[in-house]
Structures are given as C-alpha cells and as structure tokens.
Amino acid sequence: MPCEKCDSLRSFELSGQYKLIIASPRGHSSTKLLNQLADNNYNIHKDDNVITLFFYAKEAFQLGQIINSCFSQVELDDSKALLIPALEANFGAEIILNHSYSLAKLVGLFVSQWLVDLIKNGSLTTFCQPIVQKDTLEPYGFECLLRGSIDNRIIPHSACISHFMRYCF
C-alpha cells in the first residue's frame, strides 16, 4: 500500500521543462521582472504585461528567488501565473485552467524545491530525546526534534519550519 505522504510529495516535485506565463496587473512590476530575468540570461517573451519563459526544474529555486526579489507580497498576490509542463504547452483551455495559480503560490513552490528534495531523499528526520530534571537527571518528558541534512550539513529545524510557514501556508 503506497504511503499517502509520499504520494502527496509528487504534487510538489518539479521535473522536466516548464512553460511559465506571468500576468502582472502593474506595468512597472513586469518591467522589474523582465530586467532581472534578462540579467540572469533567461530567454523571455513579453506581450503587454504578460511574460513567457521556459525553464527546467533544476532552475526553479533560482527563478523563485528572482521573482521573489522583484515583487512585493502584494504584487505576488495580485499577479496570475500559469505553470505548464512543456510537453502540454500547446494544449487547450482545460490544460491551461488546471495549471493556473497565483504567482505567490508558484514562487513558494519554486523556492521550496530544496525542502521537497530533503523529504524525497529521506534527509529529513525526526527523533525523540528525553527532557531531564536538572538535579536528578531523571527524565520527566520527551521532545521531538526535526533535522535535515544537505551535503553533510545539518539544516536546523527552524529553517525547515520557517520556510514551510512562509511559503506553504
């Protein structure tokens, strides 16, 4: 029987190439983003306030950081975006409607790929340790600790939780 958590992880994991279409209600927002994308050598197309680009999943984190640095939270919330797998990029309205998100949600998905990798690779672990009396060293409770590791570096629980709270809720 498959694990529900592992199955739900697939919906957050990016793989392959994608077409990203961003529509910002403010012209100056599009201009800021266009300049940053051009500075980072993305191949972009602009039509009015709509920006289109193709990218690979491995670039998602960097792309998310670029967009996040260009837009305020209000601009992210007000902008709309389509994230379409490149193989489906020329299909009809049903595909487009099923891949429509707020830009804020997509940026959260992009910059969370490191956390998805931690979970996918089994590098996010929990363990319990006793809480002991200061004088007697007798256990009176337990605490559950969360740790991640990337390239033999320990990722503190605070980094995982704060990232999750900022981008996943």
Assigned domain for 59 exists? yes
- Domain identity same for 99 and 142: no
- Domain identity same for 95 and 145: no
- The number of domains in the chain is 2
CATH number assigned to the domain comprising residue 50:
3.30.70
- Domain identity same for 9 and 71: yes
- Report the distance separating Cα 104 and Cα 68, nearest Å: 8
- Domain identity same for 140 and 100: no
Query: Domain range for residue 144?
Result: 123-167
Is 150:114 a contact under the CB 8 Å cutoff? yes
Sign, CA torsion 36/11/16/44: negative
Specify the pLDDT at position 110.
85
- Domain identity same for 86 and 129: no
pLDDT truncated to tens, each residue of the chain (169 aa)? Answer: 445 555 566 667 888 899 999 988 777 778 889 999 999 999 889 887 789 999 999 999 999 999 999 888 888 888 888 888 887 656 666 666 666 778 888 888 888 888 888 888 888 888 788 899 989 989 899 888 878 887 888 877 777 777 666 666 5
- Report the distance separating Cα 105 and Cα 83, nearest Å: 11
What kind and span of H or E run contains 79?
none
